Chains A and B, each alone.
Chain A
């Protein structure tokens, strides 16, 4: 599957994304997001509900993100990703509308944990499914900088290993602003700007995907 994705010059392909909303009965918002075959994440969201007194915030909803790996207990990697995801979600959730409540977002990795962007997309779809008031949508895009300096969008696990640097951006739907950026490996400022420009291009495709999936669900015909 990975080898099929031949990179044409000046073009990068996103793998076929698929999603399913509303597949669990208990959570308020639930979504599964798959990028191609391997990275797939299931997200379940509860909230806004009554918060524990220790976690309650007087002016806004307390957002908690939990990332569960498939094997073993959550470690340092999961903790750091939880932080990134929480900060990204906090930037878009209008928490001030639900003060003193708690929102819990649980992400379960179904296969191949390596892609943070898949977690971001699943998180946003869960927020969308829960019907929480949001300031904007966001999507996650991963770019790989190949050794020859070219930018590759949505890399597979193998491409990620071969890459010189991996850059993950969370891009908001309003004005394509950057909500979160994280990198692994080294790159120059110019290369980072290139990746960002490519990611912003890819974001449009992903937002169109969100829109189409929601339209399919809520439109008659």
Chain B
């Protein structure tokens, strides 16, 4: 599906509004959109909503053999998917430039900042280590995928618990959650990306740009930082030349935002932990806002299945008896078979009609062609029913499709 282009007047309107320090959603230049974090029923699964941008993250783990040059370190794997659900124009399975750059940014933010202790993921040095896999899916694209993905990624990693293992000699035992409590990953710090968009050659600066603003921006700066105000990654792109002052100013803004976001994330994680500990309700079902008119919930409903046996018997009794069973196929010569008495051969008719069809409907899709063929064979079947039963192998092969 094609992406909708942005019209010139819309572009001018947006730029003019930014010049007047106004944003379409009523935010100030340095305001972040609302962040909402909800957790799934399983461990390591969360949905992060940043305004209307929505991202799903899931962490999973697996025992693998380590890389030869790093025998005592676990493996981290990050995968960001731009689902075609998120916006028209995103195609499944295509490695677009945007996707590659976003994936790399997420990798730099979460792996290269060494926020996860990979050595604690080692089970047997040189033989078995844990591979931690993070899948991030973009569900709705309303700008600033980077920040949403980095928040979702780190929240999912903090929420995740891997199965406990024990090593006795050569033997490695993996315990199920019932046997031993799963253990959390050891996470040193939480790097969070903060994005800035520049307009008019860097004169104007906006924090957390929406999709519309991203389309008209000149330059883009991402700063990944943790709450200790350590910069983990900086990336600048686009056609804007930044002065050092700008970057310094951005990093100060990022420091404030990161502190706020980290606090919010930790609160959300604590709340979920509490709900799980107290045996309360958790999962996506609990995060649906049922006070809204768009949401609806049904109580568990009973379906009477008392009379299904009678109904089934009735249907079977009413149904036509199974079609007449033909005698065994007769082998006339090697490679042929015949059922019933047999009349004239219908192979010729079919070929002729097929030729016509082919000439007529060349270039039509396969599905349509198949349907025509189906109708065709039905016709010939009806003809043969007038006489005696005759089926060539061709019919028998087609029969399951009819």
Contact = CB atoms under 8 A, between A and B. Distances in A.
Nearest to A15: B300
B137 A202 contact: no
What interface size band does chain A fall in?
A: 35 or more
Contacts of B307: 197
Nearest to B40: A111
B284 to A, nearest CB: 5
Interface string A4-31: 0100101111111111111111110000
Nearest to B287: A20
Contacts of B323: none
Nearest to B52: A25
B215 to A, nearest CB: 14
B203 interface: no
B294 A23 contact: yes
A32 B288 CA distance: 10
A19 B284 contact: no
Contacts of A135: none
Nearest to B59: A71
A58 B83 CA distance: 28
Nearest to A62: B365
A100 interface: no
A25 B140 contact: yes
B397 interface: no
Interface stretch (B84-92, B168-176, B236-244, B378-386): B84-92
Nearest to A42: B139
B272 interface: no
B305 A12 contact: yes
Contact of B301 (A14, A18, A46, A50): A14
A208 to B, nearest CB: 8
B93 interface: yes
Given A19-B295, A66-B84, A197-B312, A110 B56 contact: yes
A17 B85 contact: no
A21 B285 CA distance: 14
Given A49-B88, A194-B308, A20 B295 contact: yes
B36 to A, nearest CB: 12
A38 B42 CA distance: 9
A95 interface: no
Contacts of A8: 302
Contacts of B60: 71
Interface in B290-337: 290, 292-309, 311-313, 315-316
A108 B83 contact: yes
B84 A13 contact: no
A37 B305 contact: no
A5 B88 CA distance: 41
Nearest to B2: A50
Given A20-B288, A40-B284, A108-B85, A202 B303 contact: yes
Given A16-B297, A16-B299, A212-B296, A111 B41 contact: yes
B311 A21 contact: no
B56 A49 contact: no
Contact of B305 (A11, A34, A49): A11
B98 to A, nearest CB: 16
A34 B83 contact: no
A36 interface: yes
A140 interface: no
Contacts of A151: 305, 308
Contacts of B141: 26
Contacts of B214: none
B58 interface: yes
Contact of B296 (A13, A18, A202): A18
A146 interface: no
A72 interface: yes
Contacts of B299: 16
B304 A201 contact: yes
Contact of A13 (B85, B86, B300, B308): B300
Contacts of B88: 26, 46, 49
A27 B295 contact: no
B305 to A, nearest CB: 5
Contacts of B283: 37-38, 111
B137 A22 contact: no
Contacts of A46: 1, 84, 88
Contact of A40 (B52, B140, B285, B294): B285
A198 B293 contact: no
A94 to B, nearest CB: 17
B6 to A, nearest CB: 15
A42 B302 CA distance: 25
A13 B288 CA distance: 23
B284 A27 contact: no
Nearest to A25: B52
Interface string B81-115: 10111111000110000000000000000000000
Given A5-B300, A18-B288, A190-B312, 11 more contacts: A12-B303, A13-B302, A16-B297, A18-B290, A37-B41, A44-B140, A49-B2, A70-B135, A104-B1, A205-B303, A216-B296
18 contacts: A11-B305, A15-B300, A16-B298, A20-B295, A23-B294, A36-B285, A44-B85, A44-B140, A46-B84, A68-B92, A70-B135, A108-B85, A110-B56, A190-B313, A193-B312, A193-B315, A205-B303, A217-B293
